[in-house]
Structure 1
Amino acid sequence: MIFRQLYDTTSSTYTYVLADETARKALIIDPVFGQVDRDLALLHELGLTLELVADTHAHADHITAAWLLKQKTGCTIASAEVINAEHVDLYLKDGDTFGVPGVTLRALSTPGHTDGCMSFVMNDESMVFTGDALLIRGCGRSDFQQGSAHKLYQSITGKLFALPDRCVVYPAHDYQGRTVSSIDEEKQFNARVGDGANETDFVQYMQAMKLPHPKMIDEAVPANLRSGAPEDGRLPVTPDWAEIHLTYAGVPELDFEWLEHHLDDVTVLDVRLPAEIKDCPVHARLVDVHIPLNELNDRIGEIPKDKPVVALCRSGRRSSLAVTILKQNGFEKVASLSHGLRQIA
């Protein structure tokens, strides 16, 4: 199985990508609206087709990317029936199975953080995606969105702790850089519900917590009840000066075919060494400015600002760094030539 754990630093959210190596059909758990380009770039680089997006609950700290991914890929959206969110194709109930070819999950109702919280268990019970119900050495708060410490205790101890000890726990968040745990670890060491804590222990602990109001709750919850769709139903603005695609490394790139038809609309910057361009027949035809990468910071003033800039090199590696340098110096419309000059005969 292909498995990736991705992280959003703003909301401390983990997003999970799962796919069968043969079928190449992917599902994403808990995607973040602001990370769509990253997620789509990863799918593209791994040769995966997105078929399903599933949210563990209606998040209060970030906006889901479910709707946006559906617009861009045609994927299906799944979430708990009790949430009754808009734009959902598959309303999940406790015990339902769902997934993509080669990857099957079981929906486990685990309310307490919110009424609509679900955990997703792999069919062989080797992994569980616990949302905010069970975190690493902690759990989600229970003081808003129909939260209940009593329900959360029952969800964790009666359902999640009933999974095999070997079952690996992947939460929706972690605020200290921890990435993974297990049912056995959390039974022993969870600071709120582990090591034999009873319901009174847990409820008193949760009720004594005085946490600040989630910063994004007033924006995030209504949006997530629309599966992340903006109120106006419009897609976010994307770069319109070129056919840009973002790599998983975060580099804006464009293809040579586009560049060849838009040479008059951009400034082409070659960042190779002088010795590399001597016998390069395409150099004079394509390039407007030649500045070796190691001189770019010192000679940034030689690059015109009246047009977008496309950086190129032999492979596309140095030009990707050139894009970063250009952005740091105030150039907004910039891109690297994908795969560099290797692709040009």
Structure 2
Amino acid sequence: MTAFLAQTEQVSPRVIRILGCNPGAFTLQGTNSYVVGTGDKRVLIDTGDKEKPEYIANLKKVLKESGATIQEILTTHWHHDHTGGIADIFRELQLPDDVKISKFPRNPVREETIVGGEGRLKYNYLNDGDIIKTEGATLKAMHTPGHSDDHMVLFLVEENAVFTGDCILGEGTAVFEDLLTYMQSLQKLVDSAPDILYPGHGPFVSDAVAKIQMYIDHRNTREEQIMDVLAKNGKPMESMDIVKILYAEVGEHLHRGAEVNVRNHLTKLEKENKIYKINSDMILKWKTRH
């Protein structure tokens, strides 16, 4: 059952969640952004999509009621529903250009443009383990690629909590670009043993380690299912053929996203020499080696 999320909610003494007002099939009820800290200057994690006046109004209201301004913006990764609101926030809140906008760099490293920033706004790039402090909160950045090459999570030391971006969602499972690095990132999170997860989409999670382990188990189970489908079919199969079998009970509008995940599983299995790829008439198909 989907938990209803209020547009703004004080989820802990030092964390306020603000919905991005951009609901959708992949954003759930919307992208979560978080105002973090207890002082008159606070950190904002993620910024939602561009041109969402209701989100900006809610952010203004939260800051006004808290008697606070934005000290720094942290974006968990480059995707538009996490970075799209940056320029709107600077304009509508009249932030000075020297307010930092921090993230991890892309791989390979390249210059990134902030949409609507007109060249004035630029990213400050973080390193793994960097600490960002504000009154009442200490955040530690960890590089967790997989969902995207620049993805990071942020540990909130005072609560043993993690802002997970799109590495872990409050409901359902996440898509990813590279399964091998994604699995490694999930293992990093399990090893860190957090108590609470504040995800980029969906409600917060209080049984953190169990949730992360569920993600790991789910991916391992899905891999076994893919191998089973390939073995039973006996012939080369396209990724969408596999999706239609494994995701038969899921709406077809979600099949394209599911195919991204299945292709990533196939790529990982190919790297591990468990399957091989056939390029026939520009159509990629996969088959087991046994």
Q: What TM-score, normalized by structure 1, do the two folds share?
A: 0.51
Q: Could you give the per-residue CA deviations for residues 174-232 of structure 1, whole angstroms, max 9, x where no partner exists?
A: 2xxx33343223145x2x424xx6x6435467976574557xxxxxxxxxxxxxxxxxx
Change in Cα spacing, 1:68 to 1:61, as seen in structure 2 (3 Å) is closer
Shift of 1:140: 2.0
CA distance in 1, matches of 2:129, 2:222: 26
Secondary structure, aligned partner of 1:193: helix
CA distance in 1, matches of 2:148, 2:73: 20
**Equivalent in the alignment of 1:73:** 95
Shift of 1:149: 1.4
Secondary structure, aligned partner of 2:197: strand
CA distance in 2, matches of 1:8, 1:193: 28
Change in Cα spacing, 1:17 to 1:204, as seen in structure 2 (3 Å) is farther
Shift of 1:60: 4.7
Shift of 1:153: 1.1
* Contact 1:132 1:139 (8 Å CA) reproduced: no
The answer to whether the aligner puts 1:162 opposite 2:185 as a matched pair is no
What residue identity is the alignment partner of 2:15? F
Secondary structure, aligned partner of 2:181: helix
**Equivalent in the alignment of 2:37:** 19
Change in Cα spacing, 1:138 to 1:13, as seen in structure 2 (3 Å) is same
The answer to whether the aligner puts 1:193 opposite 2:220 as a matched pair is no
What residue identity is the alignment partner of 1:82? R
Identity of aligned residues (%): 25
* Contact 2:155 2:162 (8 Å CA) reproduced: yes
**Equivalent in the alignment of 1:94:** 128
CA distance in 2, matches of 1:131, 1:205: 27
The answer to whether the aligner puts 1:64 opposite 2:64 as a matched pair is no
Correspondence for 2:47 among 10, 31, 39: 31
CA distance in 1, matches of 2:62, 2:225: 40
What residue identity is the alignment partner of 2:18? L
* Contact 1:153 1:202 (8 Å CA) reproduced: no
CA distance in 2, matches of 1:98, 1:205: 42
What residue identity is the alignment partner of 1:129? F
Secondary structure, aligned partner of 1:81: coil
Q: Could you give the per-residue CA deviations for residues 46-74 of structure 1, whole angstroms, max 9, x where no partner exists?
A: 10111111110112556522233234222
Secondary structure, aligned partner of 1:82: coil
**Equivalent in the alignment of 1:44:** 64
Change in Cα spacing, 1:63 to 1:79, as seen in structure 2 (3 Å) is closer
Give RMSD over aligned pairs. 2.8
CA distance in 2, matches of 1:89, 1:58: 11
Shift of 1:19: 1.6
Structure 1 unaligned blocks of 5 or more: 215-345
Structure 2 unaligned blocks of 5 or more: 1-12, 24-29, 114-120, 227-238, 248-253, 258-290
* Contact 2:112 2:123 (8 Å CA) reproduced: no
What residue identity is the alignment partner of 2:112? A
CA distance in 1, matches of 2:223, 2:84: 29
* Contact 2:189 2:212 (8 Å CA) reproduced: no
Larger of the two Rg values belongs to structure:
1
CA distance in 1, matches of 2:189, 2:15: 21
Correspondence for 2:112 among 85, 94, 107: 85
Change in Cα spacing, 1:204 to 1:103, as seen in structure 2 (3 Å) is same
* Contact 2:46 2:83 (8 Å CA) reproduced: no
Q: How many residues align?
A: 198
